[in-house]
Structure 1
Amino acid sequence: MKKTLVFSLLALSLLACKKEDNNDDGTNSNEAPKVVFRLKLDPNQERTDNLGNPATVPANHGAQDPSYNAFSIHYIELAQNAYTQLQDGEVCYIGAQTTAGGDNAIDYDKAIRVNDGEVLAEIPIADLKADTYEWIRVSVSYQNADIEFRANGIDATATLACFLGFNTYITDHVIKTQTETVNSNKLQGYWALEIHPNDVIQNPIVSTGESGQITVPNPLAATSPIPPGSCVLTGDFDQDLVITGNETEDIIVDVSFSTNKSIEWYDAAQNNIFEPLDGDSLVDMGIRGVKPIVVQ
């Protein structure tokens, strides 16, 4: 995919002060109330297609649940209803961007990388419009996860680094132990795979590639579409997020992403075992849905 999404730069002040008197959920009881977005990675959440419909793995494909090491988002927007167009809702967060590689791109070096249960972003409630929000939009930009594969009859583990954002400028990045130097922009679907040493392989092996198929679920495609290549997932709140502007405590929102068989490959042997030396090839690394859950 060669289409890119250029987000308007947003001057957004995020709280970065040193934490003191933390609550059990990691929030600070001494700060002004915030909306705290936390990451949840759920392999049991419903697996959906680009339109948000339930999706099974095609007959000639294999798929597995990855084991995550790191995860990044680039954009969070709250949408009032199904007709709210992209960027017309309450844009809460946009990550760092750069033109160092030419076209506007996500700045990988400045991206915040977290893992399951950690905070994605904290937004002061005073900075948000008082309203009722039914939907969330989140752009996923990066994921790093361990996957299982088989080579020469040996079952082993590899680490897969995937860049899912509309465009990402990468100087270099560490896959697991190996550093891959890029120094350029990479469109959605760029990946790097590091095979870990095992009984057969004495040293790490790195390979790179690009996938032209990245699933980006949007149940509102008919009323509020997203541009191809943007990786902006859309999901409805379990209960509407109501912001009055009079809150005295934090609002905690778990942003739950479906990682249900999210690593998918063409399966030559149709045995659901990833065997890259025997004709299997990665075809899709897209997140399979997002569900925002208001915790408090």
Structure 2
Amino acid sequence: MKILNLIMCIVLLGITSCSDESINEPIGNPAPEEANLVIKFKFDPNQIRLNNLGQPATIPNENAAQSPSFARMSSHYIELAPTANTLLGQGAIIYEGPTTTQGGEEAIDFQEAKFAGNNETFLTIPLSQVATGNYSWVRVSLAYQEGAINFLAADGNEYSGTLASFVGYNTYVPTLNFNGASFPINENKLQGFWAFEALGFTSQGQAPPGATTVPNPLFNSSPIPQGSCVVTGEFENGLTITGTETEDVVVTLSFSVNNSFEWTEINSDGKYEPQAGETLVDMGLRGLIPIVE
């Protein structure tokens, strides 16, 4: 009996000891989640329409235009610039898309591209990866646009079709698929290449070199290479990254799609009539306003 009582005491002592250790053990707070920089896209048909110099632009008399309803868009490069004199590439580069030489010269790899629709997030990166500082401008090199446009058919009725347009400097396109249509390309395409599908009908073509509008209000102090589609926009009150942020910083890149699809008019009725020989001449976005939310 004495031996049995001794064993019970030892067991109870062990349980009490373990319980005390667990009770007195400090409970650590979970590590706080890291704050991010979140980049969203917005496509605004009412935003001011600009030309290559970032000035208000009208539609030439011989052309007509409409505002596409974009479903998605892709960017190849995003950079924050401190001042108007910051040259391209000398700011804080926060995103660069993948490239490939599969088509010969180095080109944007369309197969690996990131996409976002209207009011959707394109990029999320930790703020610790963004250099601290004050930024006044953002540069965005666009690569691809896909959306609906209206056209007048030979039967006299208006329909909606889908336009896919490549605005990057050079893009390797394998097979392009949208709306059930398939375009086997398998080669590099320069800025201005486009494909169109409507009612089962498909077509493709190439806009003239330099025809794609790329608004850059810093044309004099910080030029961009022709054909690069680096659209530049100014923060209204700047963007400051301190490195001590505890909450996400959300920046919406509001792109002007105000009459951004422009074509040559043969029948002066303001309607796109591909069967009449009216051809696309400009698919460039018409401005960029970055908004810090």
**1:132-143 alignment, distance < 5 Å:** 132-143=134-145
Q: Deviations over 1:261-285 (max 9, x none)?
A: 0000001122110011113111000
Give aligned-pair identity as a percent.
46
Match of 1:171 among 152, 170, 174: 174
Calculate the TM-score normalised by the size of structure 1: 0.86
Report if aligned partners of 1:160, 1:175 keep a CA contact under 8 Å in 2: no
What residue in structure 2 maps to residue 210 of structure 1?
206
1:294 has 2:292 as partner:
yes
Distance of 1:281 and 1:102 partners within structure 2: 29
1:81-139 C-alpha deviation (Å, 9 max, x unpaired)? 00000000000000111111111111001101210011111121111111000000001
3-state DSSP class of the match of 1:277?
helix
Q: Which residue is equivalent to 1:15?
A: none
State the 1:30 CA deviation.
Answer: 6.4
Paired residues for 1:227-242 under 5 Å: 227-242=225-240
Question: Aligned-residue CA RMSD in angstroms?
Answer: 1.1
Q: Measured at CA, do residues 31 and 267 of structure 1 come closer, stay the same or move farther in structure 2, by a change above 3 Å?
A: farther
Q: 2:244 aligns with which of 246, 260, 285?
A: 246
Contact 1:140 1:232 in 2 (8 A): yes
Structure 2: distance between partners of 1:247 and 1:76 = 21
Query: TM (normalized to structure 2)?
Result: 0.87
CA shift digits 1:51-107 (9 cap, x unpaired)? 000001111111001111211111000000000000000000001111111111110
Residue in 1 aligned with 2:258? 260
Point out where structure 2 has 5 or more consecutive residues left out of the alignment: 1-30
SS of residue paired to 1:291:
strand
Q: Which amino acid aligns with 2:207?
A: S
| Mapped partners of 1:207, 1:229: distance in 2 | 23
Do 1:140 and 1:164's aligned partners in 2 also have CA atoms closer than 8 Å? yes
d(CA) in 2 for partners of 1:239, 1:187: 36
- Distance (whole Å) between structure 2 residues aligned to residue 270 and residue 32 of structure 1: 56
Aligned equivalents of 1:33, 1:222: Cα separation in 2: 36
- Larger mean CA deviation between 184-193 and 121-130 belongs to 121-130
Structure 1 runs not aligned, ≥5 long: 1-28, 197-203
User: For the residues of structure 2 that align with 1:193 and 1:30, how far apart are their CA atoms?
Assistant: 48
Please give the per-residue CA displacement for 1:225-262, whole angstroms capped at 9, x wherever unaligned.
00001000001012100011111111000000000000
Query: Which residue number corresponds to residue 8 of structure 1?
Result: none
| 2:67 is the counterpart of 1:71 | no
- Structure with greater helix percent: 2
Q: Which of these two proteins has the greater Rg computed from alpha carbons?
A: 2
In 1, the alpha carbon distance for the partners of 2:138 and 2:125 equals: 14
- Equivalent residue number for residue 105 of structure 1: 107
